Amino acid sequence: MPDFTVQELLKTPLVEVRDVVCAGLCRGRSEVEQVARTQLVFPYRGTWLRHVAGDEVVADASQVLFFNAGERYQVSHPHAGGDASLVLVADEALLREVAPAELLREGAPLRFRMPRLRIDPRAQVQVALLRHGLREGTADALEGESLALTLMLRAIGPRTTHAAGSSHGRQRLVDRAKLVLTGDLARRWTLAEVAAVVGVSPVYLTQSFREVEGVPLYRYQLRLRLARALDLLGECEDVGMLGHQLGFSSHSHFTAAFQQAYGRTPSEFRELALQRRRPPAGR
C-alpha cells in the first residue's frame, strides 16, 4: 500500500491543482525527493516536517510552503494520523506576475527565497472552497482557475504576505511549540505546560512566538482548530459535536470564532459545501 495518494483536481495550461493525501505510515525521513516545477503547497490536514539543506520547516494549515524546482528535500511525520495538502503548480509567467519580486530568487527557473509564508484565514477558506469545488465536480475549469488565482493572490500577493521573522534559534523554538500543539488539537493546553515541554519560560515562549509568527500562541492554536473544521464540515452531521471534538468550550464559542475568522457560521459553510455536491435542479 503506498504511503500517499495524489488526485489531480484540475489541469489547464495556466494551473494544475492536486490533492495529496499521506497516510503518515513512515515516521522517519523519506527518501530524497525533488520537483521539476516550483509548487505552492497548502497543508490543510495534519502536520509534517520538510527538511531542506540541513534545516526543517513545520508544515501545517497556517502557511503555504514553497517547493522550488530542482531543490532536494525530505519529509517526515512527527504525529500519527497522516496529513493532506492542496498543491498548486502555476504557469511561471503567472507566478512572476503575482509574487512580489523580493520573494523570488534571480534567474530561471522561478524559485522562492524563503521556504514558507504564513497565510491568513481568508486564504484558508480559499483552500477549502477550491478543494471542495474541484473534488465534487461543481467547479468547471474557468471557475477552478479563478479560485486558484484568488488563492495565490491572497497567499503570496504583495498586500497579504507574512514572512516568518526573528533568529534561527527562536524559529526552532517556535517550531517545537507548534509540534506540541498540533499533536493534540483538542487538548486545552496552558501556557506553562507548553513552555515546560519545550524547555523555556512562559514569558520567553510568548515573546518568541509572537515575534516569529506575528500572532499569539493561543491564536495560532485557534486558527489550526478552525482550519481543521473547514476540512471536516462537509462530512460532519453534528456541527456542535465537531466543535467539542476540536477543543472549543461550547457550540457558541465555536460558532463565534468561526464566523469571526471566515465571515460565515459553521452551519452556513457546511450548507455551502453540501450545495456544491448537489446536482443542479432538473437533472
Q: Does residue 262 share a domain with residue 173?
A: yes
Question: CA Rg, the chain, in Å?
Answer: 19
Name the burial class of residue 278, with classes exposed (0-12), middle (13-18) and buried (19+) by CB atoms within 10 angstroms of its CB: exposed
Q: What is the pTM (predicted TM-score) of this model? A: 0.86
Q: Does residue 135 share a domain with residue 184?
A: no
> Does any domain span residue 178?
yes
Nearest in space to 121 (alpha carbons), one of 142, 81, 88, 151 = 151
Q: Does residue 198 share a domain with residue 176?
A: yes
Q: What is the pLDDT of residue 283?
A: 41
Q: Does residue 88 share a domain with residue 46?
A: yes
Q: What is the pLDDT of residue 152?
A: 94
Q: Does residue 130 share a domain with residue 40?
A: yes
Contact 68, 114 (CB under 8 A): no
Q: What is the pLDDT of residue 175?
A: 92
> Does any domain span residue 161?
no
Contact 148, 10 (CB under 8 A): yes
**Among 127, 156, 185, which residue terminates a domain?**
156
CATH number of the domain bearing residue 48: 2.60.120.280
Distance CA 278, CA 78 (A): 37
Q: What is the pLDDT of residue 274?
A: 65
Distances (CA, A) of 257 to 221, 224, 245: 12, 12, 15
**245 HSE (CA, 13 A, CB side):** 11
> Does any domain span residue 281?
no
CATH number of the domain bearing residue 240: 1.10.10.60
Q: Give counts: helices (H), strands (E), the chain.
A: 10, 9
Residues of the chain whose pLDDT is less than 50?
A: 1, 280-283
Q: Does residue 36 share a domain with residue 135?
A: yes
Q: Tell me: cis bond preceding 109? Omega within 30 of 0 counts.
A: yes
Q: Does residue 202 share a domain with residue 85?
A: no
Q: What would the grid cell of residue 219 be? A: 491564536
Contact 236, 242 (CB under 8 A): yes
Contact 83, 43 (CB under 8 A): yes
Q: What would the grid cell of residue 179 be? A: 509540534
Q: Does residue 257 share a domain with residue 174?
A: yes
Q: What is the pLDDT of residue 145?
A: 94
Q: What is the pLDDT of residue 83?
A: 93
> Does any domain span residue 53?
yes
Q: Tell me which residue range forms the domain holding 193.
A: 168-276
DSSP state for residue 114 in the 8-state scheme:
S
For the beta carbon of residue 224, count every other beta carbon within 10 angstroms: 21
Start-to-end C-alpha separation, the chain: 38
Distance CA 179, CA 175 (A): 6
Q: What is the pLDDT of residue 51?
A: 94
